[in-house]
Homo-oligomer: A and B are copies of this chain.
Amino acid sequence: MTPTITAFAQSPDRGKGLARDMRVRWALEEVGQPYEVHLVSFAEMKEPAHRARHPFGQIPTYEEGDLVLFESGAIVLHLAESHPGLLPDDAKARARAITWMFAALNTVEPPIVDRGIAMLTERDKVWFAERLSILDDRVRVRLGELAGRLGNADWLDAAFSAGDLLMVTVLRRLSGSGVLEEFPNLCAYVARAEARPAYKRAFDDQLAVFTARPPGA
């Protein structure tokens, strides 16, 4: 059965691959699972039909027959558990890869999202410059720790896994901030992931949604 995911009808990042459907598209490409995309507008996301799929009115969701999932991390883990290619076979290595999935979403992403929220909603506040500096420093602490652990390795724990997939999508959210560039091994890590054929296919597909439908069209 071909699964269906949801994605933004009008991508707020203009196709830079920063929306969370990119994680799921990339995972689907890594495991070679064809899929369909149901685009939803911002208004549709908050309506009952979409809330039935996603209680918090967001994207992506994942539907496979009568199984309905939300949360990009949970969908990627579901794909990784039901297809080979995104988690090691060894039980311990598998548990460590899953640890990196949670670390990406719970420890590294929150200060990066906070920075993004402030950029979007606090630019006109008198406190913006002071807050941004605090937020940047909070991001730097996490990136420094991550860079220290990664060192010169290609991936976080031996082979590429769903943990790397999520971590790279989290780091890419710093695009344009200049902060990631302070950590050369993390930049190389992101570039290494972006060079994967599955990443490129997923990126092109999410970009096509934007180029096919310019904002306001």
Contacts and interface: CB of A to CB of B under 8 A. Distances in A.
Contact of A145 (B56, B110, B131): B56
A74 B92 contact: no
Interface of A is mostly: helix
Contact of A71 (B78, B102, B127, B134): B102
Contacts of A56: 103, 107, 142, 145-146
Interface string A190-212: 00000000000000000000000
A143 to B, nearest CB: 11
A126 interface: yes
Q: Determine how many copies of this chain the complex contains.
A: 2
Contacts of A98: 74, 77-78
A114 interface: yes
A16 interface: no
Interface string A74-115: 110110000000000000100110110111011101100110
A78 B55 contact: no
Given A98-B77, A114-B114, A70 B103 contact: yes
Nearest to A52: B149
Nearest to A131: B127
Given A57-B145, A67-B95, 4 more contacts: A55-B103, A72-B102, A105-B106, A127-B131
